[in-house]
Amino acid sequence: MKVTYRNSTQLFLSPCHCMSCGKVFIVPRLRFSKRESGHVKTMFCFNCKCDQDFIETKNGTQFEFEYWKQYIEHQKQKKAVAS
């Protein structure tokens, strides 16, 4: 979803899903700083009352909690093997 900001700058709204409670937060991003679907962002969750990992998805993308949980674990294992 696009939103016009001052000076006709376009912001894109990216939904981020909490990995603990599933709550959705919207993060505004500039066009040139959009992230791919599956980007992990650590933010404060107001529902959980602590810092949590959030999965950023594109608008219209179905959020499948178990799929993303396995995806994150796989990425962590790849990083551990590489280092």
Residues 34-59: tens digit of each pLDDT: 777 778 889 999 998 999 988 888 76
Q: pLDDT grade, residue 7 (50/70/90)?
A: low
Instruction: Let me know if 70 is exposed, middle or buried by CB neighbors in 10 A (0-12, 13-18, 19+).
Output: exposed
Contact 67, 73 (CB under 8 A): no
Output the pTM of the full model. Answer: 0.66
Of the listed ranges 20-24, 49-53, 64-68, the least confidently predicted one is 64-68
From CA 59, how far away is CA 49, in angstroms rounded? 26
The mean pLDDT value of the chain amounts to 80
